[in-house]
A = this chain, B = another copy of it.
Amino acid sequence: MAEKRPYSEYSDEELQSEIEKLRQEYKKYQGMGLSLNMARGKPCKEQLDLSMGMMDVLNSDTDLYCEDGTDCRNYGVLDGIREAKVLMGDMMENNPDDLIIYGNSSLNVMYDQVSRCMTHGVMGSTPWMKLPEVKFLCPVPGYDRHFGITEYFGIKMIPVPMSPEGPDMDMIENLVSSDDTIKGIWCVPKYSNPQGYSYSDETVRRFARLKPAAPDFRIFWDNAYCIHHLYDDKQDHLIEILAECKRAGNPDLVYKFASTSKITFPGSGISALASSPNNLAEIRAQLQHQTIGHDKVNQLRHVRFFKDIHGMTEHMRKHADILRPKFEAVEEIFEENLGGLEIGSWTKPHGGYFISFEGLGGTAKLIVDHAKKAGVTLTGAGATWPYHKDPHDSNIRIAPSFPPLDDLKQAAELFALCVKLVSAEKIYADRHV
């Protein structure tokens, strides 16, 4: 079967006829009036329906008091109610005392964290705004909204290549220990965005043992997908970073973030920051000027809904049952349509929200454009790199969660077609330059 041979081995004639065939197919898709979206990691309707019970656990007959007697309806409790700290602590594998519960968005917590470092520094260091240059390391491909925060604050971003074990630790150790203008690194350590990679034990251990030249260097550890498994039997395990930092004698090195955004309702969940007592004391001292407290009623709602971490774990299995067929459908369609052609590779994650597609150099933008023109919106090419600049123009993030399964299959088939068409045209063109 022709498809099983790499395109690069096709003769000119074979390639021309393949391109002709693909163009015809593409035209058919254009006539179908598709309007599908694989751009963002949004849960689908069925996933949201799983949490509708959230709307029933509090009503006018229930009390809205915490276990310690606090009336959750009133002002107060700067860093979160105790039972929410216990629940989120169990989810994040942290001591409840090492947590601050925030509002509906961990992105907001991360933004605020960077903002505070800009205006006030870290534990007495010079505010980053007062320094001539501040740099962050950015494992790539990575999460566009992380890069958006640092770009907004004028922080210079340095890409660090990712592997299935995590980011290049040799490079990170060298840079961090030699350059005191490097103040931070963005990490999605488990089921990474967009690859779905989880950092290896060695990677986490080396992170915990970094010897930064800058005393105000911090690791921004966004454990967004900590319990977001796709399989019961194939789960990635990540060494808990705060504990590892303590063991390594580096207790203050990390700000760790998580939220329930992809557990209950995105935008109406609760988020948390975990860190060392020193870091938390500094953050609370700032936080008291920013708010009287976050939404305790919503914290209580989450606790009453899940009861405990077991309830949350069972809830996540239901999410997995919805998401798993979607990931597997995309992987099957990619394998069926692209396997053997040597024009792209893709990750096969055990959790998280994304598949990372790596095409031939110089094809990503064209593939995304082609898909768009046939009615399928993808995350913009380049989005996974700082400044939206993918130097190879090869990476595309695939978000399979949102569309219904049948739509998703259609979108994945169109995507594969676009990859084939753009790649075949590129190979042909490269031969005839």
Q: Which residues of A contact B (CB under 8 A)?
A: 40, 42-43, 45, 48, 51-53, 55-56, 58-60, 62, 64, 71-77, 103-105, 107-108, 111-112, 115, 118-119, 127, 129-130, 145, 148-149, 152-153, 261, 265-268, 286, 288-298
Are A291 and B56 in contact, CB atoms less than 8 angstroms apart?
Answer: no
Number of copies: 2
Are B73 and A266 in contact, CB atoms less than 8 angstroms apart?
Answer: yes
Which chain B residue shows the least CB distance to A286?
B152
Chain B proximity of A115: nearest CB distance (Å): 6
Are B268 and A292 in contact, CB atoms less than 8 angstroms apart?
Answer: no
Are B42 and A74 in contact, CB atoms less than 8 angstroms apart?
Answer: yes
Given the complex of chains A and B, what is the CA–CA distance between A425 and B103 in angstroms?
49
Selected contact of A115 from candidates B59, B60, B115, CB within 8 Å? B115
Selected contact of A74 from candidates B48, B59, B72, B293, CB within 8 Å? B48
Q: Besides the contacts A75-B267, A267-B294, A267-B297, what 9 more A-B pairs have beta carbons closer than 8 Å?
A: A42-B75, A55-B64, A56-B60, A73-B268, A104-B294, A105-B291, A112-B290, A127-B129, A268-B295
Q: List 25 A-B contacts (CB under 8 A).
A: A40-B75, A42-B76, A48-B73, A55-B62, A72-B268, A73-B265, A73-B267, A73-B268, A103-B295, A104-B291, A104-B294, A108-B290, A111-B289, A111-B290, A115-B119, A118-B119, A118-B129, A129-B129, A129-B130, A152-B289, A266-B292, A267-B292, A267-B294, A268-B298, A298-B298
Given the complex of chains A and B, what is the CA–CA distance between A119 and B134 in angstroms?
14
Which chain B residue shows the least CB distance to A111?
B290
Give the dominant DSSP class at A's interface.
loop
Are B129 and A74 in contact, CB atoms less than 8 angstroms apart?
Answer: no
Given the complex of chains A and B, what is the CA–CA distance between A250 and B329 in angstroms?
58
Residues in chain B near residue A74, CB distance under 8 A: 42-43, 48, 265-267
Given the complex of chains A and B, what is the CA–CA distance between A59 and B61 in angstroms?
13
Given the complex of chains A and B, what is the CA–CA distance between A289 and B129 in angstroms?
18
Residues in chain B near residue A76, CB distance under 8 A: 42, 267
Residues in chain B near residue A107, CB distance under 8 A: 290-292
Are B296 and A268 in contact, CB atoms less than 8 angstroms apart?
Answer: yes
